[in-house]
């Protein structure tokens, strides 16, 4: 179990540090011009690289919504759910802390939103609560559907991180303007703790919506992938 927890901690750390770091640090230098397309790619690359790096240890969840979704689909042990979520939260918060230390090393830096997620006035495009809720549920649903599909016994081993990473990139390209893209409660929690204030007050949505989307995907997957009855992670 210690190795699996370590894998989840390290993978989630890299996801937050690489993905959110590309937004927070590059934003300080607009001339770099990576834009939200670059941030989207950074998030996809973090998952792809660490899925290969530590996925053999833990199954490469790096996201409480994925853990809960796999559990709801009968593919993950109930006894391990809490351990994974704690490790993911610890990795996300640690990464946000390291990122904060680096970012504040630049004179005049102010945290602002610190790549946190939000709706209404805190949404990058000022989208409503309902729009943000629907966006996060929909994106998480399809993210989990991709994961369930590539984890099927009928798909060749070793290729899963590629479509998963590409799916996360696509999700960010769609939803950065709406919610700044969560689909991951751990990622949202780490950044909100340092952004503080109203971002913490809106954190509930970025737990509720991804978990709801993941559970909905699990219910659909139970029907579509009935032949894949062996749990993904024992």
| Domains contained in the chain, CATH given | 2-105+113-224 (1.20.1080.10)
Q: What is the pLDDT of residue 229?
A: 47
Tokens of 182: 């969560």
- Is the per-residue pLDDT at 148 higher than 60? yes
For 193-197, which contacts have Cβ atoms below 8 Å and span 24 or more sequence positions?
Answer: 193/93, 193/96, 194/96, 194/97, 194/100, 194/111, 194/114, 194/116, 195/111, 195/112, 195/113, 195/114, 195/115, 195/116, 196/111
Looking from the CA of 17 toward its CB, the CA atoms found within 13 Å total 17
Chain-centre distance for alpha carbon 16: 8
Instruction: Provide the terminal-to-terminal Cα distance of the chain, rounded to the nearest Å.
Output: 11
Q: What is the mean pLDDT of residues 156-172?
A: 89
Sign of CA dihedral 219, 13, 163, 41: positive
- Which two structure tokens, joined as six digits, stand for 174? 């769609």
pLDDT at 105: 92
Tokens representing 51?
A: 């899925």
Q: What is the pLDDT of residue 151?
A: 77
User: Smallest Cα–Cα separation from 194: which of 82, 124, 104, 108?
Assistant: 104
Q: What is the distance between the alpha carbons of residues 18 and 42, in angstroms, rounded to a whole number?
A: 6
3-state secondary structure of 233: strand
In DSSP terms, which residues pair with 233 in a beta bridge? 76
Average pLDDT (127-140) is 98
**Tell me, what's the pLDDT at 34?**
82
Q: How confident is the model at residue 112 (pLDDT cuts 50, 70, 90)?
A: confident
> Model confidence at 152, in pLDDT bands (50, 70, 90)?
low
DSSP 128-150: -HHHHHHHHHHHHHHHHHHHHHH
pTM for this entry: 0.92
Rounded distance, CA 117 to CA 181, Å? 7
> In this predicted model, what pLDDT tens digit does every residue of 61-76 receive, in sequence order?
999 999 999 999 999 9
């Amino acid at each position: 179990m210690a190795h699996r927890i370590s894998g989840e901690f390290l993978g989630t750390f890299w996801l937050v540090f690489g993905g959110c770091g590309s937004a927070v640090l590059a934003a300080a230098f607009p001339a770099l011009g990576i834009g939200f397309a670059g941030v989207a790619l950074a998030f996809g690359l973090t998952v792809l690289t660490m899925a290969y790096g530590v996925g053999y240890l833990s199954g490469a969840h790096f996201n409480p919504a994925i853990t809960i979704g796999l559990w709801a689909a009968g593919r993950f042990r109930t006894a391990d759910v809490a351990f994974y979520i704690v490790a993911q939260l610890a990795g996300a918060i640690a990464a946000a802390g390291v990122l904060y230390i680096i970012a504040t090393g630049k004179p005049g830096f102010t945290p602002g939103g610190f790549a946190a997620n939000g709706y209404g006035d805190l949404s990058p495009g000022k989208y409503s609560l309902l729009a943000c809720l629907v966006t996060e549920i929909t994106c998480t649903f399809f993210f989990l559907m991709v994961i369930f599909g590539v984890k099927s016994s009928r798909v060749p081993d070793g290729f899963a991180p590629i479509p998963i990473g590409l799916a996360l990139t696509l999700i960010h390209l769609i939803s950065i303007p709406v919610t700044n893209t969560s689909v991951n409660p751990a990622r949202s929690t780490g950044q909100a703790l340092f952004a503080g204030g109203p971002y913490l007050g809106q954190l509930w949505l970025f737990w509720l919506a991804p978990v709801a989307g993941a559970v909905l995907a699990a219910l659909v997957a139970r029907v579509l992938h009935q032949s894949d009855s062996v749990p993904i992670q024992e």
